Amino acid sequence: MICAFKYLVLTILFGLVPAADNALTGPALLPASLNITPTLSGKSRCLEQLLKVDVTSNNIKILLDPPANQTIVTETLVELLQANSTLFSRVNGGPSTISNTFEIYAKLCLPANPSAVKAVKTVQFLTHGDTLDSTYWDIAPGYSYIDAAVAAGYATFSYDRIGVGKSQHPDPLQVIQGPLQVEIAHALITRLRQAQISSYNFTSVIGVGHSAGSTVTQGVTTKYPQDFDSVILTGTSTSIAFVNVALASYDLSIANLDPSRKFSSLPNGYLVQPNTQSIQFSNFRWPNFNPIILGIEVANKQTQTFGELLTLGLIVAPSLNFTGPVDVLLGENDFVFCGGDCTQPQDQSALVVPALYPSARNNSQQFIVLGAGHFIFAHYSAGRAFSQMITFLQQNGF
């Protein structure tokens, strides 16, 4: 039986009652904090929420003070990225348990057609990469993975990772770390599986990540292998040979000094790419993108922290007990993980499953997205990526 809360959410969200009834917002039915919005194309309808998430994470104590100025930021980056860096070992102060309640912005999207909503059984759990937020999944009409997935009969659940976008911004060194990102994702997935988010029941949950979001997704499958039925990892590989060059090109700067002023309230430990060039260099491949889309991504840019830079590697380990099918996509010209050519010395997307998912189903797949850079969905070939991802899921019975 559909509970009253779920019924009201779905009726308002998808028009299952007359418009005059949409004004019903009693506290026992629909919290006033709920926000119903379309995707940028208007093809999907989404329920936006600010969720309170209780988590406990095994972080580390980082023996660094918040950077006092840009000179300290730049020097720390030099010491992190230099050959034979010892920075991590010097600042690793040992285990540190973080236990708290955090506010996480999330968006659940479903088809606009009421009859299509009733048929949805699978939700895709979307985790964005570093320097991005959840808008990556809905960049613009025609560049929206949310629209593509919803049109194919799936729900999507996207969220701003802790320290990013509309989510809470706690201590950027001691709190925002790789292990915490995994615990928050796990807590949100648990809510989805237990129908605690809009009371909608899903039979399958698919993990979809981009770049560092793929790292978080992979970290979830290692620690909590039952969370996902299948995973799709985009913008990631097993090689880190070019990651330091890419990070250097980001030219990370103190976010509260950014001319946009959108980060002015954040402490110095939050960093951001300062200009269009630093975003284009490692993430886009000319002439395979529309400059307008680059402009959108510049406007949507988000923060990075030393806490995450120093600890994201702590969550990378083979997912020995994950047995679902795995799909891996790389842009042909991804600079971050392939130095600009993911076909050399061999198909880099084909290396991920054998290295990280030894127990995955035989029907796992990989795909090189021709002409795309690291931000795959921001290129003209985004539609090819969308099609491959959806076909992969359909072929595996989701």
pLDDT tens digits, one per residue of 177-211:
999 999 999 999 999 999 998 888 899 999 999 99
Answer yes or no: are the C-beta atoms of 275 and 252 closer than 8 Å.
no
Answer yes or no: are the C-beta atoms of 199 and 135 closer than 8 Å.
no
pLDDT score at 33? 52
Convert the pLDDT of each residue in 273-318 to its tens digit. 999 999 999 999 999 999 999 999 999 999 999 999 999 999 999 9
Convert the pLDDT of each residue in 78-90 to its tens digit. 999 999 999 999 9
pLDDT score at 113? 85
Residue 106 has pLDDT above 90, yes or no: yes
Q: How far apart are CA 9 and CA 16, in angstroms?
A: 10
Residue 55 has pLDDT above 80, yes or no: yes
Residue 120 has pLDDT above 70, yes or no: yes
Residue 271 has pLDDT above 90, yes or no: yes
25-28-34 Cα angle (round to 5): 50
Please name the helix (run of DSSP H) or strand (run of DSSP E) that holds residue 78, with its range, or none: helix 70-81
Residue 137 has pLDDT above 90, yes or no: yes
Convert the pLDDT of each residue in 1-49 to its tens digit. 334 334 334 444 444 332 233 222 222 223 335 688 999 999 999 999 9
Residue 356 has pLDDT above 50, yes or no: yes
Average pLDDT value for residue range 96-103: 98
pLDDT score at 34? 64
pLDDT score at 30? 31
pLDDT score at 9? 45
pLDDT score at 35? 86
Answer yes or no: are the C-beta atoms of 148 and 44 closer than 8 Å.
no
**Neighbouring-strand partners of residue 233:** 209, 328
DSSP letter for each residue of 257-291: G-TT-TTTTS-TTEEE--SHHHHHHHH--TTSS-H
Instruction: Quote the longest CA-to-CA distance of the chain.
Output: 66
Q: How far apart are CA 288 and CA 282, in angstroms?
A: 14
Q: How far apart are CA 174 and CA 63, in angstroms?
A: 9
Burial 251-287 (b: 16+ CB within 10 A, else e): bbbbbbebeeeebeebebbbbbbbeeebbbbbbbbee
Contacts of 322 (CB under 8 A, 6+ apart): 221, 222, 225, 228, 231, 357, 359, 360
Convert the pLDDT of each residue in 139-181 to its tens digit. 999 999 999 999 999 999 999 999 999 999 999 999 999 999 9
Residue 101 has pLDDT above 50, yes or no: yes
pLDDT score at 13? 47
pLDDT score at 23? 28
Residue 116 has pLDDT above 70, yes or no: yes
**Percentage of the residues of the chain whose pLDDT score is greater than 70:** 91
Q: Compute CA 292 distance to the chain's CA centroid, rounded to the nearest angstrom.
A: 22
pLDDT tier at 129 (50, 70, 90 boundaries)? very high
